[in-house]
Amino acid sequence: MRALLEFLANSQRSFIHFVRIGIFIVMAWIGGLKAFQYEADGIVPFVTNSPFMSFFYHNSGKMAVNDEGKEVPEYTLHKNPEGKMVQKNIDWHQENGTYPFSYGLGTVICIIGLLTLLGIWYPKIGLWGGLLTFGMSIVTLSFLITTPEVYVPNLGGDLPTPRFGFPYLSGAGRLVLKDIIMMGGGLVAAGDCARRLLNK
């Protein structure tokens, strides 16, 4: 047991580098997927409901009438389920500016991941990467307040829906909540870079 404790204690620097590598993998993978239609479509509920980002879309705030005669946010009528291509929905997203925004966001995410990874060798660069990871996580976690889709909806059915709304996270909400870990990882990476810079 003592050998394990000593190994863990003496490997802290390597573990911090592993955090950086993990942040880079997540950022590069998710950022890279923003170049694809299904991922760009999938972030629309987050972006259009965000007070920080909704202005990037042309149709944010627009309402429309659904098949049941209810007035709903227009974007809800143009969702493409992952793996399904519907041309009229793609046309709407093109007019909305969904795809150019997604390309730009993906590029920013990849750059933040790369800056964080470079902190292994360059603490000044890594400091910015860690701080930007922290800041990006704050924006992502704000979706828990602004995006209705992060909670289980009450869709009805044969039986009453027993649990919906806050605090019952949907798949999208569970994905967003994990950014708390990214937030902590960004601070750990930034703190390590700051310590190395001070030691110089």
Mind listing the pLDDT tens digit for each residue in 33-50? 999 999 999 999 999 999
| CA angle, residues 128, 129, 135, in degrees to nearest 5 | 85
Task: With beta carbons less than 8 A apart as the criterion, state whether 98 and 44 touch.
Answer: yes
Go through 99-137 and write b for each residue having 16 or more CB atoms within 10 A of its CB, e for each that does not.
Answer: bebbeebbeebbebbebbbbbbeebebbbbbbbbbbebb
Q: Please name every residue paired with 169 in a beta bridge, in sequence order, or none if there are none.
A: 151
Q: What is the pLDDT of residues 51-107, one digit of tens each?
A: 999 999 999 999 999 998 999 999 999 998 888 889 999 999 999 999 999 999 999
**pLDDT surpasses 90 at 111:** yes
* Helices 87-96 and 98-118: angle between axes, nearest 10 degrees: 70
- Is the pTM for the entire model greater than 0.85? yes
Give the residue carrying structure tokens 């930007």.
132
User: If you average pLDDT over residues 167-192, what whole number do you get?
Assistant: 96
In angstroms, the CA 157 to CA 161 distance is: 7
DSSP 100-138: HHHHHHHHHHHHHHHHHHHTTT-HHHHHHHHHHHHHHHH
Please enumerate in sequence order all residues whose Cβ is within 8 A of that of 89, keeping only pairs 6 or more positions apart, or say none.
41, 78, 79, 80
Exposed/middle/buried for 192, CB within 10 Å: 0-12, 13-18, 19+? buried
State what percent of residues in the chain have pLDDT above 90.
90
